[in-house]
Chain A
Amino acid sequence: MKSIAIYGKGGIGKSTLASNIAAFLGTKGLKILLVGCDPKVDSAINIIGHRITPLLELMKIQSRPPSESFIFRKGEIHCVEIGGPEPGIGCAGRGLIVGINYLLENLNVKDFDFIIFDVPADIVCGGLAIVAKEGYAEGVLIVTSDEFTSLYAANNICRGLFSLKVPSCGIVYNKATSNGLKFVRKFAEKVELPIIGHVPRSDGFINAERMRTTLIEILPNSEVTNAIISLSLNLLKSDFRKIPKWLSMEEMEGIFSENS
């Protein structure tokens, strides 16, 4: 069994990558579990084809819902959405703690070959950090583009992992462009993590989303699909785990200055 948690700036492509990785590994006959941890419930939508009922929504009505009621399957891919409160009320962090604990009590993680936790944006509070903190995922996959704000968020995540002593399994360079690689590479070197995947920017993702499916299903022979395959195989094969370093603000600025 292998497990990862995906962290990165809001909107950087965590859920998109999570569902495409799950979709690919599912075709390899592996038993996959995709756990959506975002209260907006959008991790599994492109696998199952519609919004699935989140666990916390069921727990609100019935304190111990049976696992059939919250696990949704497509072939070997099993999807669970934890869910959470409506925007602006309650506590999403507490929701995640309660939901994940219930999930892990009620299913045997050892039954799965690969588990992906799709986590909401940054680690903004203790509750949202639970997946990394409690060791539910063996490694954190950090998603970033070459934009400053995205690398800045990635650095913040490294800082969180550093202080929580949680290992990362590497960085994915998403929305990759031909001239942005040098920045991501510089960042990766400084935080001492490998770049384990480059997924180019592609409109295919948006088209796939409109059809409520994954890109690898609609563009099976594309460069982007190949990139996702290579990233997925890397994740499957590699045992790399390391607690990252993090950079000061000056060092972050340095990444984008020409002469450093």
Chain B
Amino acid sequence: MSLIIHPRPSPIAAAMYMMRDLNVDVIVIHGPSGCCFGPARLLEKDGVKIFTTALSDREFIFGGERRLIEVLKKIDAIFNPKLIGVVGSCASMIIGENLKKAAEEAGVIEKALCCNIHSGYGDNTSGAIEVLKEASNIGLITKEEYERQKKLLEMASILERTRGTARQEYIGNYAGDNPDEVAREILKVLKEGGNIICVLNAKKETAFVYADIMLALAQTSVKFLANIDPNIGLPRIREYSKEILRELKEKGIEISLITGGLDEYPISGERAKEILLEERPDLAIIAGIPHAVAVEGKIRTIAVSAGTRASYNLKSIGYDFVINEENAHRASLGNRRIQKSILGESIRRILKE
């Protein structure tokens, strides 16, 4: 694998998100105060309390386990959490800090989920896998659930390396196509009697934003596929699917086929691809992780994803239109209702015209 020189997501952040999915009440980052600041703020929006041991050169030199013990004791006393996540950082892992030993000394080992992770650990999914491994060790999830998710996360990493933003040494940035023009294109196809399939192939909570495209297309002939199986994944993730299904039902939307669970986007993407190639719609709208649905060049596609680097990548591998839902992740955190999306809003606007 060649060296990738653009910034990549951090295994520490992936570990923290996985801890959130396991319903930890608090997470302690054993590292400098600026470490994972961005993801920490997002997770706080989602209701997880995040703490840092705020290590500095003094602790790098003399060790920081004392500090971790103090912080754990303080959090336990003030917030009385049921489950505490503890993640490492580059600094604390390089100097060989022992997270579990500190949790034991702080008297919280029974409710601690410790993960010896740092930012140089490899693919970001390795952070999530480490958390799951520890969760299965301490009996929080079953061995089978661990194996199932591990396989999916490994598939996700392969997908990133072959078709995602890890596929090249450098991938640039693209702001995405004009959403109003893309919405016009959708409505033009419908007006001419063409058929459209809209695929939701999203990762976890981001489905709360991407599902809005289905709401916007409720009164049309568009057919829907979605990876929102309410019987797959961790309880929290199943809850997301249930909420979305309930809201779609309220609005009278029927899903033609459930392609998998919200943590299954690498395999649900394969299923969606098979169906698209069989049904050959005139246009496919693929939202969430579009590059998991490899139909570009065979079917006219609108890829909807988040971020300028993802948009650049999707455009360059050949999706015809690319929408950058730049706030998809931020907007999806901290609520359990479908949120307005950029493309959804454009469709609503153009429908009114």
Contacts and interface: CB of A to CB of B under 8 A. Distances in A.
Size category, A interface: 10 to 19
Nearest to B94: A91
Contacts of A92: 61
B58 A85 contact: no
A233 to B, nearest CB: 37
A59 B63 contact: no
A91 B65 contact: no
Interface string A71-89: 0000000000000111001
Contacts of B94: 91
Nearest to B98: A89
A90 B61 CA distance: 5
Contacts, number: 36
B174 interface: no
Interface in A61-112: 84-86, 89-92, 94-95, 98
Contacts of A56: 61-62
B95 A91 contact: yes
Interface residues of B, number: 12
A28 interface: no
A237 interface: no
B353 interface: no
Nearest to A91: B95
Nearest to B61: A95
A55 B59 CA distance: 15
Interface string A188-205: 000000000000000000
A85 B57 contact: no
A184 B63 CA distance: 40
B60 A60 contact: no
A225 to B, nearest CB: 38
B120 to A, nearest CB: 15
Given A89-B65, A90-B95, A59 B58 contact: yes
B102 to A, nearest CB: 12
Interface in B39-67: 57-65
B111 to A, nearest CB: 26
Interface of B: 57-65, 94-96
29 contacts: A56-B61, A56-B62, A59-B58, A60-B58, A60-B62, A84-B61, A85-B62, A85-B63, A86-B62, A86-B63, A89-B62, A89-B63, A89-B65, A89-B95, A90-B59, A90-B61, A90-B62, A90-B63, A90-B95, A91-B60, A91-B61, A91-B94, A91-B95, A92-B61, A94-B57, A94-B61, A94-B95, A95-B62, A98-B61
Q: Which 3 A-B pairs have the closest CB atoms?
A: A89-B63, A90-B63, A95-B61
